[in-house]
């Protein structure tokens, strides 16, 4: 049998195969976590061979590190003015997409499903700080900005734990209700504390 070809009968570039593996690995890690995902599984989804993962990325750990370092870029609800940002994030967090589309990458699932792994945890820790908490705190004014940014991150991650990690039915269906208001206020208080 011949080697893998794309639709036009051509063979893949290394860069193309790399990209397919990256996409497949992102999804797999997001769905099942670092420890539960094997390179064979990733390679199958990427229509390639397990050996290519080691070839192109060095190791499964390197592949994971690469994905993690790009996963936590500060997202859409964090753009725009600081005023009202709390409610914006809350609305996005408790938004209508419940449960999230299983066919697209989920930051929170990616984080929570791998945070227990002794090898993945330090990688995720570094990524969260460098890509999220620090950039966010730089947009904030006032004292202890980084600590407040971390607290905000904690709230967000906590909601994520309950929703994707534990699949809690208690928070799941929440439109513009009390919980959403409470969360929005709590987030806003991290951004702009009442006492300056």
Partner DNA sequence: CGGGAAATGTCAACGACCGTTGATAAAAAG
Partner DNA sequence: CTTTTTATCAACGGTCGTTGACATTTCCCG
Q: Give the list of residues 6+ apart from residue 167 with CB closer than 8 angstroms, or none.
A: 99
> Assign residue 151 a region: left if phi > 0, alpha if psi is -120 to 50, beta otherwise?
alpha
Of the candidates 50, 100, 135, 165, which one interacts with a copy of itself according to CB under 8 A? Answer: 165
118 binds a copy of itself (CB under 8 A): yes
Q: How far apart are the first and last CA of the chain?
A: 70
Of the candidates 24, 67, 183, 184, which one interacts with a copy of itself according to CB under 8 A? Answer: 183
182 binds a copy of itself (CB under 8 A): yes
124 binds a copy of itself (CB under 8 A): yes
Please compute, for residue 170, the number of CA atoms within 13 A of its CA located in the half-sphere on the CB side.
7
* Least distance from DNA to the Cβ atom of residue 40, Å: 5
- Collapse the DSSP code of 38 into the 3-class scheme (helix H, G, I; strand E, B; otherwise coil) and give the result: coil
Q: How far, CA to CA in Å, does 145 sit from each of 37, 40, 142, 159?
A: 37, 44, 6, 21
- Choose the one of DNA, a copy of itself, none that binds residue 112, judging by a C-beta under 5 to 8 angstroms depending on kind: a copy of itself
Residue that the structure tokens 């929170």 belong to: 108
24 binds a copy of itself (CB under 8 A): no
* Least distance from DNA to the Cβ atom of residue 31, Å: 13
- Choose the one of a copy of itself, DNA, none that binds residue 59, judging by a C-beta under 5 to 8 angstroms depending on kind: DNA
* Least distance from a copy of itself to the Cβ atom of residue 138, Å: 13
Residue that the structure tokens 């002794």 belong to: 118
98 binds a copy of itself (CB under 8 A): no
26 binds a copy of itself (CB under 8 A): no
Return residues touching a copy of itself (CB under 8 A). Answer: 32-36, 112-118, 121-122, 124-125, 128-129, 133, 143-144, 146-151, 153-159, 161-162, 165-168, 170-171, 174, 177-179, 182-183, 185-186, 189-190, 193, 195
């Amino acid at each position: 049998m011949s080697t893998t070809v794309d639709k036009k009968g051509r063979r893949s570039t290394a860069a193309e195969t790399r990209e397919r593996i990256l996409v497949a690995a992102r999804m797999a890690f997001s769905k099942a976590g670092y420890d539960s995902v094997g390179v064979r599984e990733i390679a199958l989804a990427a229509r390639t061979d397990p050996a290519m993962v080691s070839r192109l990325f060095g190791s499964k750990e390197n592949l994971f590190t690469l994905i993690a370092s790009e996963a936590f870029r500060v997202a859409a609800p964090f753009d725009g003015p600081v005023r009202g940002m709390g409610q914006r994030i809350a609305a996005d967090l408790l938004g209508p997409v419940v449960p999230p589309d299983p066919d697209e990458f989920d930051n929170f699932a990616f984080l929570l499903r791998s945070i227990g792994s002794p090898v993945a945890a330090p990688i995720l820790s570094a990524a969260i700080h460098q890509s999220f908490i620090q950039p966010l705190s730089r947009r904030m004014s006032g004292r202890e900005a980084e600590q407040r940014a971390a607290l905000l991150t904690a709230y967000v991650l906590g909601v994520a734990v309950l929703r994707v990690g534990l699949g809690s039915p208690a928070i799941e269906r929440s439109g513009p209700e009390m919980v959403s208001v409470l969360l929005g206020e709590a987030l806003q208080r991290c951004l702009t504390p009442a006492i300056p």
